[in-house]
Structure 1
Amino acid sequence: MSRKILLIFRRTQANRFTLPVLLHALEASGIASQFEIHFADRFSFLLRFQQKGEKFLAVYSFMTPHLPQVIQEVQILRKNPKACLIAGGPHPTGDPQGTLKMGFDVIFVGEGEDTFPGFCKEYMENPDGNWKGRILKPDRAFPLDESFPFSRIDPFMPPLEMMRGCFYHCRFCETGIKKPRFRSLDSAETFINEMLRRNYRFRIGFICPSGFEYGASGAGKPNPERIEALLAMARSKGIRYVEYGIFPSEVRPNTVTSLLLRIVKKYCSNKKITIGAQTGSPPLLQRIGRGHSMEDIESAVANITAHGFTCQIDFILGFPEETLEDQMATVELIQKFHRKYRSRSHVHYFLPLAGTPWYLEKPTPIYPQVKEKLKQLTHAGACTNWWEKGIEQSEKTVALLQTLYELAGSIPQRLS
């Protein structure tokens, strides 16, 4: 009897929500039993197979911020000619050719519920074939109701994706899908029933790029009835903590209403609501293409606070061509909201993401006087200092992208 094919998922904190979906798709295809499946939570686990010179499939799913680690690992794995390295996720989707140049053999663009098991079947039938340079794209939009983040192989059950895609197309953000699709309540109930069958009753969360637009008919047109039906159903199942309006279902300022806040208050356990403001500069807000106004931001913060929630606000500094005035407007808004509403802001630093209009654009450094103000605000509890680690991460990633394109002999001028 021939040995099963080694299929090794490189599992990280960043892709832990994705891998159960791929496993479920593989199981649904009926071929999972043909593979010996492992999870490499550490690269050293993958190296055990690498050092033996074994033939294996290594599965990577990653975002642009993780390029430094991924490239380092791929350079080592590439020394084994028997290894087939495959990649999917936001970065490979946004830059498939660049990902091939990193050393991967096969790239999955977009949704993987069809293409991943399809490729595994092909590989199973011809493991000695030449797979180098393939870019696989799905032929259809996969039905979200059939995509579940659980499997027989891995007990982990992440938050449930209720919305795939986004109505908006901010210049810094990669959603991958232009027109949102929504999971039905029946499908959500199937997932929750599986949670209960596995005796997971502690917490449930939901994945939505814009939490208050689940079931919406269009941009800025929330569907409170559908959101309430979802949360009421989850609560009725006896789950202790039902969470909505915080990661990974943060909300946009222009969708916050008193009715929706009352619904969250009635059914959910979270005491915080997170909104994405991104900048305190009106001209920059328009240039980003956020689709909401400065007035929408303050109205949302005030409304959230009035309903007894603590408002958490996401801001980003370092956007391309951001001026000192833009940055000062942001820190002043952070200070104003903290004093007036006792909000707390999460301050990030811009990192160019593959597949976005601002991919390969250079971040703007944070001005010294802005850094000093941020340190004061952090000390006062008004904001986080996430931007400090963000600068380091962004600089490493931009330098790597520059090197990759130099090696390819086609570095874009805007990155030089």
Structure 2
Amino acid sequence: MIGYRLTSKNKYSISKLYPLTKGNLFNNLDELIYELKESEKEKNKSNCFKIVNSKDIIIYSFMSLQKSIVLQELNILRKNFKNIVLIAGGPHASGAPEDTLKMGFDYVIIGEGEISLPDLVNKIENNQKIENRIIKGVPIDSFEGYDKIYPLAPIEITRGCPYNCRFCQTPQIFGKNIRHRKIDDIVKIVKNMKDIRFVTPNALSYGSKYATKPNLEKLEELLKKLSEFKERLFLGTFPSEVRPEFINEETLNLILTYCDNKYLHFGAQSGCDEMLKYIRRGHTVNDVLNAIDLCKKNKLMPKVDFIFGFPNETIENRLKSIELMKYIIKKNGTVHAHYFMPLPGTYFEKEKPTELDKETIKILGSMAKKGQISGSWSHQYDSTKKINK
């Protein structure tokens, strides 16, 4: 049996890999345990050598925030099923492969899995020799041939990111090489979707060779084609946020012409130019202000992300972020804020978050009570629980 542990956090990743190996999808641990027990019963009843010696392969994809939950499940699985094979992929496995092996996984795939996962599964099923337990995923050159998605999820249209944000795992997992799915292939996939949404590091970079500036011609070609048969079309909403410096009159005009957006989601991360430069964000506070004003002008609500507690962050840095947040709220926008966490595989993986001062926590709490901001910033990082690579 091949089984995927499906959660609300990994369904986009699983939906791309499941069609390549098939198998079973498990929404909870109880379902998985039941099927493993049934599989063992079938093997015990069978006299067929091939079936008796077949392996049950269970695949996980998870982020570092889900590590403790996954570890609990692995301990239960290992205790009750001695012969299962456990494979891990996703952000935590890619950033901290050695740590992932220590959790109890048999194999870890780093990065992209479309080629490497089916190959690994095939070798396990055929009892072939596997050289390494940590496997570097083979990147796909294009999306051609990878058009099956199940469970149905937003369609990935771009992979790779040219930016070097110190806190982000995306370029470490998918690299800086930009790959776009062809428009005809996108059309084939989304024809049965009522709401068309996308997965991409930056929705407004579609069609751009280096993804450092918009390709208006290619972007309009995509949206115009999809608008011919869609019920509702969204670009620049979760999970396809945009970068603030890509928001201009031309890109907003395309969204207003072809899409059903009521808002536009983008990351500011900080309201301080000094901090933006330090985290290598690649844009300025003025870019954020310009994006906010253009959204307001064009009757699109700006939804803006902020991170508090960056390494070496000062109270002055945070006050500038709060001032920018107040400006966004004044423009009828919304803010999502959360506390910095050092993620495996990033430039900041060995850095400690800066503890937030009481005044900042008080101000954010007051804004939250008024319904002006959402998120989680009260979590203070415990260095004794730091994830080791």
TM-score of the superposed pair, with normalisation by structure 1 = 0.84
Change (3 A) 1:20 1:270: same
Classify the secondary structure of the residue corresponding to 1:78: helix
Matched, 1:324 2:315: yes
Does the CA-based 8 Å contact 2:264-2:303 persist in structure 1?
yes
* 2:340 aligned to which of 336, 350, 360: 350
1:225–1:86 Cα change, 3 Å: same
Letter in 2 for 1:313: V
Deviation at 1:147, TM superposition (A): 2.1
* Residue of structure 2 in register with 1:69 after alignment: 69
Partner of 1:374: 364
Distance 1:241 1:53, change over 3 A: closer
Say whether residues 1:166 and 2:161 are aligned partners: yes
Are 1:91 and 2:89 matched, yes or no? no
How many angstroms apart in 2 are the aligned matches of 1:113 and 1:258? 37
SS in structure 1 of the partner of residue 266 of structure 2: strand
Name 2:46's counterpart in structure 1. none
- Equivalenced residue count is 371
2:143: which partner in 1? 144
Residue by residue over 1:110-130, the C-alpha shift from the partner in whole angstroms, topping out at 9 and shown as x without a partner, is: 11111111111111212xx78
Separation of aligned partners in 1, 2:129 and 2:82: 11
Match of 2:20 among 15, 25, 40: 25
Aligned pairs (5 A) from 1:134-283: 134-151=133-150, 156-175=151-170, 176=173, 177-193=175-191, 195=192, 200=193, 202-237=194-229, 239-283=230-274
Offset, 1:159: 0.5
Cα drift, residue 309 of structure 1: 0.3
Following the alignment from structure 1 to structure 2, what is the Cα–Cα distance between the partners of residues 325 and 344?
22
CA displacement, residues 210-242 of structure 1 (integer Å, 9 cap, x when unaligned):
1111111335320111111111111101x2210
Q: 2:293 aligns with which of 285, 289, 302?
A: 302
> 2: distance between equivalents of 1:329 and 1:316?
12
Offset at residue 374 of structure 1 (A)? 0.7
377-386 vs 102-111, greater mean Cα deviation: 377-386
Instruction: List runs of 5+ in structure 1 lacking aligned partners.
Output: 1-5, 27-31, 406-410, 412-416
Aligned to 1:57: 57
Q: Is the 8 A contact 1:316 1:348 kept in 2?
A: yes
Counterpart Cα distance in 2 of 1:375 and 1:149: 44
**Does residue 47 of the first structure (1) align with residue 47 of the second (2)?**
no
Query: Which residue number in structure 1 is paired with residue 275 of structure 2?
Result: 284
Query: What's the % identity of the aligned pairs?
Result: 33
| 1:384 counterpart SS class | strand
Contact in 2 for aligned 1:278/1:315 (Cα 8 Å) = yes
* Pairing 1:78–2:69 present: no
Paired AA for residue 59 in structure 2: V
Q: Aligned partners of 1:17 and 1:284: how far apart in 2?
A: 31
CA distance in 2: counterparts of 1:305 and 1:43, whole angstroms = 46
Give 1:173's aligned amino acid. C
Which residue identity is paired with 1:171?
R
One-letter identity of the residue aligned with 1:227: L
Distance 1:77 1:142 in 2: 36
1:356-395 matched pairs, under 5 angstroms: 356-388=346-378, 391=379, 395=382
CA contact (8 A) 1:68 1:400 kept: no
Compute the TM-score of the two structures, normalised by the length of structure 2.
0.90
Contact 1:50 1:77 in 2 (8 A): no
Distance apart, 1:142 and its partner CA: 4.0
Does structure 2 conserve the Cα–Cα contact (< 8 Å) formed by 1:105 and 1:133?
A: no
Residues 141 and 179 of structure 2 are in contact (CA less than 8 Å); yes or no, is this contact kept in structure 1? no
Match of 1:123 in 2: 124
The separation in 2 between residues aligned to 1:163 and 1:192, in whole angstroms, is 15
SS in 1 for 2:338: strand
CA contact (8 A) 2:155 2:190 kept: no
For the structure 1 residues 180 and 56, does the alpha-carbon distance in structure 2 shift closer, same or farther, using more than 3 Å as the test? same
Q: CA deviation at 1:133?
A: 5.9
Query: Helix, strand or coil: the match of 2:377?
Result: helix
* Superposed displacement of residue 148, structure 1: 2.7
SS of the counterpart of 1:117? helix
Distance in 2 separating the partners of 1:149 and 1:362:
41
1:189 alignment partner AA: V
Deviation at 1:78, TM superposition (A): 2.2
> 2:5 is matched with which residue?
10
1:90 deviates by 1.3
CA distance in structure 2 between the aligned counterparts of 1:52 and 1:158, rounded to whole angstroms = 30
